[in-house]
Amino acid sequence: MVARGLAVSCLCGLLAGCAAWWGGPGAPTCPIITDVNAWTNRQPSTGGDGQVTLVTVSFEAPSQMRLYRDGTAPPETLALDLQASDQPALMAISYRERVRVPPREQVVISCGGDVLARLDSIDDIY
């Protein structure tokens, strides 16, 4: 009986761990994205940031999230990961980086390992 109780306890512990991994209470809460825009500012600048790529993400409801660059993507892809933040809840957030060589060609937004949005092109603004 003790062995059976121990086996059931271990199984319940494993199932609880799996539930947290696959969308249970411990999984990240990903917001619903309503809009994603990306553009590269190619206008000449004096003393500013110079040419930068900007990405904005809008949410359905205020969210406490930040965008972090995922360094595992290929160089032509700007992969951004939404992660929880202690900042105030916002309806939209943005990310910016200096223009790279070669330039980025697409943007992928993910959260908790799931791709939430993808842009297959980044507009140039002059």
Assess contact for 53 and 75: CB atoms under 8 A: no
Using CA atoms, how far apart are residues 55 and 37, in angstroms rounded to an integer?
6
pTM: 0.74
Q: What is the predicted pLDDT for the residue at 27?
A: 54
Closest CA to 88 of 69, 66, 56, 60: 66
How confident is the prediction along the chain (126 residues), in pLDDT tens digits per residue? 444 443 434 434 433 333 333 444 555 689 999 999 999 998 877 766 678 999 999 999 999 999 999 989 999 999 999 999 998 999 999 999 998 888 899 999 999 999 999 999 999 998
Token readout for 28 is: 């990240």
pLDDT at res. 8: 38
Q: How far are the Cα atoms of 16, 85, 93, 100, 117 from residue 89, in angstroms, in the given order?
A: 29, 9, 10, 30, 20
